[in-house]
Each structure stands twice: as structure tokens, then as C-alpha cells.
Chain A
């Protein structure tokens, strides 16, 4: 179990912590990040989603000053990316943990703590927080992938930063480690920390993130809350006789919201209507076999968005060629 400090103090302010405008990175003729405008607010857990090579890590590197943008601007905690004033309040794990292989985990963190002007007390605290106090004495080269990842998260937590930038932090973690990571992220959110989280694990993101940005082929194709992206959901009814059930639900919600789906009926309505519909069906003498809420998963939304974005790329290319 990864442990967080007791107590929480959610800021809950709509203040912007990270903002980018037209952020672009080109490598020769390849555009890795294309005019990205994203906003991360104070105290939120922001999920940054995209397939491999979509531009997530390059964007995060630009926010940390590791990579210089070709065009566009970014502000992190009110400063330009990489500014020491911003970095002093930022913790980051970018594309896998990079540590000295011959040092043990604790000494690696002691080295990193010295760069921050911190002492060994902080090192022991973060090691304890990611459950590495014991193995922290072993050489980094002997760590499993999951342990290396935990050490990377520990380094990001040094100095109790206000903003955490975590790039695929659950890589290599076993199910228990993933659950611990979820708990840690929730704890950080409760403390009012801002977390910018890039992940392939959409189920994880759906559980822990307040808002998400979806990037595809370098372009940010949407930025919204998880709830907004998933939509209002629907109800699914399986009843007998189905024709009588159909007449009942059409009378309640209207024909436009009703659709036959296999051997049941799908209703595009708010899930809060479920008790009313159940009562009406039973009162009409319909045998109700099943009534459940159907929500689109973030995964479904992600694939829908990225497939649509990918399909539009050739169209845009053709339009540009036609104009030229």
C-alpha cells in the first residue's frame, strides 16, 4: 500500500496551472505536436490520452523545458517551461525513470534531493510513500520494472510539488501497484495537487481523472470532462412481451428516444428515469427481465474520436493540396 500524508486541503480553484497556445514541435518534416492548446486547472487530475506516437510525451517534455517548441507558447505555474521557479513546484516522471544504475534507490533519491536543495528526511518520506523503504537499499539496476517506476514516482514527489506531470506512471506495475497508484493520485487530488497524467490505460483515467485531453497525430482533438465525453448514457430494457413494453416506453419518453436493440429496447434518456419506467412496465403487466444503465466507456469514446480524427487527416491533406 502506498501511503499519503494525513489530511487534505483541496484548493478547488478554477485557476489555470498549465496553458499552451499553438504549441508545436517539428522534427525535420515530421510534426510531432501540432498547434496544441490545452488548459490544466489547479487541483484537477487531467488525463492526457493518445496512442503511441500521438505526441503526448513530446508535449509533456515541452511543458518541462526539456524540449524546445518549434512554435507556440506555454505557461506552467505562471512561468515559461523549465523556469526554476516553476520547476521548484513541479514533480515529473517522463517516459520511464532514468537513474544511476550503480546506486541504490535511496541514494538515487538523495542525489536528486540535493539538486532540489533537500535533505535525506524528505527522501525517506517519499520512499515510504511509494512502499520502497525496504528495497530502497538495493542497486537500481536490480529493480523490477515496477520498482523502477515507483522510484520514478518517488522522485517526482520530492519537495511536495504543487504540480505533478506523470507520463505513463503505471507502466510495469502489477494490479496491486496500479491500485496503489490510483489511490495515490486520488490522495494527491484531495490535497489540492494538480496532476497531469498521460496514460494508455483508459479505465484508470476514467476512474481518477476530472478532465481529459485527447491527442491524435499531434493534434489535440478534444478537451473536456470525463462525464461530458461519455455523454448522458442510456437505459436498456428487456421485457416480455416486447411490443407492449415498446408502447409503454414510447408513451413515457417519446418515440425519438427509443430504439430496438437485439431482443431489447435502448432508451436514450437520463438514467434517473429508470424507476418510473420500471413502475410503468410492471403496471402495464409487462414481465420485466432486465433494466440497466448503459454508459459509453472512455475507451469507446477515445476510439471513436481518434478514428474520426485519423480519417479527417487525408481529407485535410487533400484540401491543402487542392488549394496549393
Chain B
């Protein structure tokens, strides 16, 4: 027995959660899928479009030189952000739902809580571990993007025009905030559903279908626009757009919007992240564990 080393502390819980997440194949599949989609939609399709002469369906009608400019190192912040609101966010939402909901499905919450941590500490450990996963994914995405952009420079014999550090940091922070919000959304849905499958289904239907349907209806119904402008997906897409990602309306990536300015989008994302995480924490601390 070593209670003096803090069995109830968030640090112990974080170490435990990182150990089990690190050995969870699902985590690596999800992160791998995120990187693969980033590479496919960020580089592969545009490069194919460039090599085939541009102006095609694949290249969304853009001229070849413009396509190549996006694939060079200077375009890394934009490409990193472009994937975050839609598929990147969906992947993190699934991950958050699985991490929390899986504990109910496997009955591990009761086993964890009988080991001594308070519910707040156990939940805090899970959130901290998920935050580490989010930061690792953003870091890996930026590094992979720079690697591919450098490779394009070599293959196309172009001089690498590196983006300003401040721009890279803004993209890093923006992507991390968007991912954090979607992860927290997954955590909340996983907590509400107390089941990984139901949580994933509900979360994806909301993020990929309901929000887009509401925005479509809002185009014809002004009163609804005031609501849809404040939805989580709107905030995420607007932040990506405000930080330089090409919006969907300008032949850019689906999910990237220009509805909100950068400042309000950041505030809204922070608020959603906090509300989702705190609501889930409140439910975990108050509900019976079976």
C-alpha cells in the first residue's frame, strides 16, 4: 500500500490512462486514419490534379501552379487546418466517445474507481491523457505535412518557402482547439450514452448530418441562422477559415467556413470545450456506476 504517493491524484490517473491508451490498437488506427486522410485530401489529390494539368474535378478546377503552391512548405498551416473541422474533428469525436463509453461497456469504470481515485481524479486523468493525444496528433500532422511538402520541393525542384513561425503556431493552436472541442463533445456523448457504439453513432450523426442540415435550412430561414451560427461545427469551421484555410464556398475543404471571425470562433470553441467537459464530469461524479 502506498497511499502517500497519491493514489487519488490526477497524475496517477493520467499515467494509468496513458498506459492503457498507448496499448489500445483502436487509438493507433484512429490516429493513422486521421493522418492518412490528411495526406490524401491535403496532398495526394492536389498533386494528382497538378500532374494531370489542373482544372479537373480532382483539382476543383484550380490552375496547376496554384495547386503546387499549396503543396509547398508555405502551405502547411493551411492544409493542416483544412482537415480539422470535418474529418479530423469526426475522428476525435469518435475517439472521445470510445475512450469514455468503452469504460462503461467493459465495466472498467467500477474497477478503476475501486482502486482508490476519486471520480474527479479518474476523469481528470482521462481528460489529460486525451489532451496529450490531441497535441500529439496535431504535432504529428504538422511534421508529416512539412515532410511531404519538403518532398514535393525536391521532386518539383522548387525552393522551399517556409511559413512564418507565428503562422505555424497559430495553425497548431487552432487545430488543437478544434480537436479539443470535438474530443470533449465525444466525451460528453460517451458519458450520456454510457455505451461506445451509441455514442459514436449519435456524435457522427450530429457532427456530419444534423449541423449541415440545419445550416441548409438556415439559408432559407433567417431566424434559424442566429442559432446555426453558434453551433460547434460552425465555430470549428470558422476558426479554420479565419486562420487561412480555404473555405468550402471558395472551392476549399468541406467544413471550412467564414461565418464567424477568428476571435468569436475561438471564444465559442473554448466555451463549448469547457461546457462539454464539465457537463460530462458532473455526470460522472453524480451518477451511479454499474
Contacts and interface: CB of A to CB of B under 8 A. Distances in A.
Interface of A: 61, 64-68, 82, 84-85, 87-92, 94-103, 107, 110-112, 114-118, 152, 155-156, 158-161
Interface in B3-33: 3, 5-9, 12-13, 15-16, 19-20, 23-26
A196 to B, nearest CB: 13
A117 B106 CA distance: 23
B107 A103 contact: no
Interface of B: 1-3, 5-9, 12-13, 15-16, 19-20, 23-26, 106-118, 122, 288-290
B115 A87 contact: yes
A99 B106 contact: yes
A68 B119 CA distance: 13
A66 B110 contact: yes
Contact of B116 (A67, A88, A94, A98): A88
Contact of B7 (A82, A84, A110, A111): A84
Given A87-B8, A155-B115, 17 more contacts: A82-B113, A84-B3, A88-B3, A89-B1, A94-B110, A96-B107, A97-B107, A98-B108, A99-B111, A102-B24, A103-B23, A107-B20, A111-B19, A115-B7, A115-B122, A116-B12, A118-B5
Contact of A117 (B5, B23, B290): B5
Contacts of A96: 107
Given A85-B3, A103-B23, A110-B19, A115 B110 contact: no
A66 B108 CA distance: 12
In the A-B complex, list the 6 residue pairs whose CB atoms are closest, starting with the nearest.
Answer: A98-B107, A114-B16, A117-B5, A88-B3, A84-B8, A115-B115
B122 to A, nearest CB: 7
B288 A67 contact: yes
B110 A158 contact: no
B1 A115 contact: no
B111 A98 contact: yes
